[in-house]
């Protein structure tokens, strides 16, 4: 008997945690409070290690996603991180996108 397979896509959208980003985040009172209270996961922010670097961003799950939705979610990531780090020039930062596709 053949089972029907489904496709699920998870996309991590975030920024590399560089030395200066880490410094600015650690200087922000709200970031310290959120870290101590373990609220980052509740805000949706996740830390992701990849290829020897660490990233911070949001993880999204989709069956299908358009480029427009990816761009909208990238803006949401930036706005979420800016709550904790509003003194960084975000125009010089490159958003990172890591897709994963699961077939079950």
pLDDT tens digits for range 68-99: 988 898 888 888 888 877 777 777 889 999 88
SS3 of 30-94: HHHHHHHCCCHHHHCEEEEEECCEEEEEEEEEECCCCHHHHHHHHHHHHHHHHCCCCCCCHHHCC
Provide the whole-model pTM.
Answer: 0.74
Give the domain ranges of the chain. Answer: 7-103
């Amino acid at each position: 008997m053949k089972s029907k397979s489904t496709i699920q896509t998870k996309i991590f959208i975030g920024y590399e945690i560089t030395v200066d980003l880490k410094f600015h985040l650690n200087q922000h009172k709200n970031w310290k409070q959120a870290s101590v209270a373990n609220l980052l996961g509740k805000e949706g922010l996740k830390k992701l290690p990849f290829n020897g670097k660490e990233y911070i961003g949001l993880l999204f799950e989709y069956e299908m996603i358009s480029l427009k939705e990816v761009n909208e979610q990238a803006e949401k990531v930036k706005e979420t991180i800016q709550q904790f780090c509003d003194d960084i020039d975000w125009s010089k930062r490159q958003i990172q996108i890591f897709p994963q596709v699961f077939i079950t």
